[in-house]
């Protein structure tokens, strides 16, 4: 992973690849990006311990 190497340009390129493939997958599965953002907001409002406990 480029983040470890400290190469900002390559990290940016790698991040773009990851985001592109994520967006393609979301579209293929009819999942809206807004749903993902809502899930992130929900998680931010919950402590890590509480979230882990809720998973079972």
For residue 29, the enclosing domain spans 2-55
What pLDDT does residue 1 have?
Answer: 66
What pLDDT does residue 34 have?
Answer: 98
Give 10-residue mean pLDDT values along the chain (56 residues).
81 94 99 97 83 75
SS3 annotation, the chain: CHHHHCCHHHHHHHHHHHHHHHHHHHHHCCCCHHHHHHHHHHHHCCCHHHHHHHHC
The answer to whether the predicted template modeling score (pTM) of the entire model surpasses 0.95 is no
Domain count, the chain: 1
What pLDDT does residue 47 have?
Answer: 76
What pLDDT does residue 19 have?
Answer: 97
């Amino acid at each position: 992973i480029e983040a470890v190497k400290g190469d900002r340009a390559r990290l940016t390129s790698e991040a773009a690849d990851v985001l592109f493939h994520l967006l393609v997958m979301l579209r293929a599965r009819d999942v809206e990006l807004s749903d993902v953002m809502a899930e992130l907001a929900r998680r931010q409002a919950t402590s890590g311990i509480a979230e882990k406990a809720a998973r079972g």
